[in-house]
C-alpha cells in the first residue's frame, strides 16, 4: 500500500490537489537550461554539440511543461542523451570539466547543483530515469476508473508489470552506486545534493524491492495456490527490505519536506510488513499440536494486531507530513489483513486463553524465520556511445582550443 505526493499533481495544468498514489516517489530533479553549445564551441564538431544541446533542452522543456508525466518521451530522450553524453566522459576527448551542468528540484523549483563533471550529469540523468520509472509503476497501480468507493480493481498483469518496473528502478540506482559514484572525484561528491548521496540512492533502490515484494504478497493473497509459507516468506522479505532501507536513511536529517515524508513512509511500510509476517507466522504455528505452538500463535496474532494499530497511526502521520496526501483505500494484502488480524487475534485469544493464563509470564514472542531475499535489481548498462563521436568532422576543427579560449576571453562576465 502507499500514497505519496505525485508529480502528476504538478503536471500540465499545475493544479494543486491532494494526491494519492501507490508507489512512493521520494524526489524529482530535472535539468536546468545550460548553453552547452557555447561551452563546446570549436572543441567538438558543431553537429555533435548541437545534438547534445538539443537533447538536453528537450528534456528540460518536456519535464517542465508536463511535470514529468510524459514518461515515455522523457525516457526516450534521456536514453539518447546518455548515448551522446558518455562521450564527454572518455579521456581521449579531454572534455571533462568544460561544461557546468545545472539541475533543480522539481517540487520547489530551486537549483540544487551546478557542477562541471560529466559523471555527475550521468548520475543525475539516471536518477531522473529511476524516478520516472517509479512514477510509471505508480500509475499502473492506480485504477483508472476509481469511482471513489474505495474499491481498487487493478489487473494482475498491471501488478506484475509494476513489479518489473520496480526492479528496473532498483537496477538504475544500483548501477549509480556501483559504477557512477566511484568515478566522481571526492571534491565533487562533497557538493552533490542529498538526493544523490550513496545512502539515499541505496535506500530508494531497496525501497523499490520492498514495494515489489509488497505487490507480490498482494498477488499471493489473491491466489488460491499460494501457501501460508509463501505468504509468510514474502511478508518477512518485505520486512527485511524495509529495515535495510531505514538503516540507509538513518544517518540523515529528515525533519522537513519530502525527506520527512520519505522516512515516515518507510516506517509505515515496516509496520505493515511486520504485522503481516507475524500474522502468517502465527497461522503456521497454530497448525502444531503442542500447547506451546498455540501459545506462540496467539502471541503472534496479538503482536500483529498491535502492529496493525501502529501502522494505521504511521499511515496517518505519513499522509499529514508535508506535502499532505490523501489516505489511501486498503488494497493488496492489507485489504484482507485489516479484517483478518483483529478477528483471528480475538478468536484465538478466547480459544487458548486458559493456556495463556497457565503460562502467564513465561510466554515470549516467537522469532520470525529468516529467508534469503528473492528480488534482485535488474542489470543495467549504459547505452553504446553515439556514432556522432566518430564524426569525420573532427578533422576540420582546426585549432579548436585556441578559438575557444579566445572567445572565452572576449566574453564579458555577467552578474
Highest-pLDDT range among 6-10, 219-223, 259-263, 400-404: 219-223
pLDDT per residue as tens digits for the range 356-382: 666 665 567 899 999 999 999 999 999
**Where do the domains of the chain lie?**
7-380
Peptide bond into 323 cis (omega under 30): yes
Q: How far apart are CA 245 and CA 362, in angstroms?
A: 34
Residue 406: predicted pLDDT: 47
Residue 131: name the closest of 176, 100, 80, 88 by CA: 176
Report yes or no: 80 and 382 within 8 Å, Cβ to Cβ.
Answer: no
Q: How far apart are CA 22 and CA 31, in angstroms?
A: 26
CB 204 within 8 A of CB 173: yes
CA dihedral (307, 220, 222, 144) in degrees, to 10, reads 90
How is residue 312 written as a grid cell? 494505521
Cell 516468506: give the residue.
233
Residue whose cell numbers read 496474532: 301
CA distances in angstroms from 252 to 201, 236, 279, 280, 413, listed in the order given: 13, 26, 32, 34, 38
Q: What are the pLDDT digits (tens) for 32-60?
A: 988 888 888 888 888 889 999 999 999 99
More confident residue, 2 or 284: 284
Range in 7-11, 75-79, 121-125, 226-230 the model is least confident about: 7-11
**Rounded distance, CA 261 to CA 249, Å?**
12
Burial class (CB in 10 A: 0-12, 13-18, 19+), 125: buried
Identify the CATH assignment for 7-380 out of 3.30.70.920, 3.10.20.30, 1.25.40.280, 1.25.40.10: 1.25.40.280
pLDDT band at 149 (very low <50, low <70, confident <90, very high): low
Measured between alpha carbons, how far is 48 from 148 in angstroms, rounded to an integer?
Answer: 51
Predicted pLDDT at 44? 85
pLDDT of residue 306: 97
Instruction: Please give the angle made by the CA atoms of 327, 330 and 164, to the nearest 5 degrees.
Output: 100
Angle at 243 between CA 238 and CA 248, to 5 degrees: 125
Amino acid at each position: 500500500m502507499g500514497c505519496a505526493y505525485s508529480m502528476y499533481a504538478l503536471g500540465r495544468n499545475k493544479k494543486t490537489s491532494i494526491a494519492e498514489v501507490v508507489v512512493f516517489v521520494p524526489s524529482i530533479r530535472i535539468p536546468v537550461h545550460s548553453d552547452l553549445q557555447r561551452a563546446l564551441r570549436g572543441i567538438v564538431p558543431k553537429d555533435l554539440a548541437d545534438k547534445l544541446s538539443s537533447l538536453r533542452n528537450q528534456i528540460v522543456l518536456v519535464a517542465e511543461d508536463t511535470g514529468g508525466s510524459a514518461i515515455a518521451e522523457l525516457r526516450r530522450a534521456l536514453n539518447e542523451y546518455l548515448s551522446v553524453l558518455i562521450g564527454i566522459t572518455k579521456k581521449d576527448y579531454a572534455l571533462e570539466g568544460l561544461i557546468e551542468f545545472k539541475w533543480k528540484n522539481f517540487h520547489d523549483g530551486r537549483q540544487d547543483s551546478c557542477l562541471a563533471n560529466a559523471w555527475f550529469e550521468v548520475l543525475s540523468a539516471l536518477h531522473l530515469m529511476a524516478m520516472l520509472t517509479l512514477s510509471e509503476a505508480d500509475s499502473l497501480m492506480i485504477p483508472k476508473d476509481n469511482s471513489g468507493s474505495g474499491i481498487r480493481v487493478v489487473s494482475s498483469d498491471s501488478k506484475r508489470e509494476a513489479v518489473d518496473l520496480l526492479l528496473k528502478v532498483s537496477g538504475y540506482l544500483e548501477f549509480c552506486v556501483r559504477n557512477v559514484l566511484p568515478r566522481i572525484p571526492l571534491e565533487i561528491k562533497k557538493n552533490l545534493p542529498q538526493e544523490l548521496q550513496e545512502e539515499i540512492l541505496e535506500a530508494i533502490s531497496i525501497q523499490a524491492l520492498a514495494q515489489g515484494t509488497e505487490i507480490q504478497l498482494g498477488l499471493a493473497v489473491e491466489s488460491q495456490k499460494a501457501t501460508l509459507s509463501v505468504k509468510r516468506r514474502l511478508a518477512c522479505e518485505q520486512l527485511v527490505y524495509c529495515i535495510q532501507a531505514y538503516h540507509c536513511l538513518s544517518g540523515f536529517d529528515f525533519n522537513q519536506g519530502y525527506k520527512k515524508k520519505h522516512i515516515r513512509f518507510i516506517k509505515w511500510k515496516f509496520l505493515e510488513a511486520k504485522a503481516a509476517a507475524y500474522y502468517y507466522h502465527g497461522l503456521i504455528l497454530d497448525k502444531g499440536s503442542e500447547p506451546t505452538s498455540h501459545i506462540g500463535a496467539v502471541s503472534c496474532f496479538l503482536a500483529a494486531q498491535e502492529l496493525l494499530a501502529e501502522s494505521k497511526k504511521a499511515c496517518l502521520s505519513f499522509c499529514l507530513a508535508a506535502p499532505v496526501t490523501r489516505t489511501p483505500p486498503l488494497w493488496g494484502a492489507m485489504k484482507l489483513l485489516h479484517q483478518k488480524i483483529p478477528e483471528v487475534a480475538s478468536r484465538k485469544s478466547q480459544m487458548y486463553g486458559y493456556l495463556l493464563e497457565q503460562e502467564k509470564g513465561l510466554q515470549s514472542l516467537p522469532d520470525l524465520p529468516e529467508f534469503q531475499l528473492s528480488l534482485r535489481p535488474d542489470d543495467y548498462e549504459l547505452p553504446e556511445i553515439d556514432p556522432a563521436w566518430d564524426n569525420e568532422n573532427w578533422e576540420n576543427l582546426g585549432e579548436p582550443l585556441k578559438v575557444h579560449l579566445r572567445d572565452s576571453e572576449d566574453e564579458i562576465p555577467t552578474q
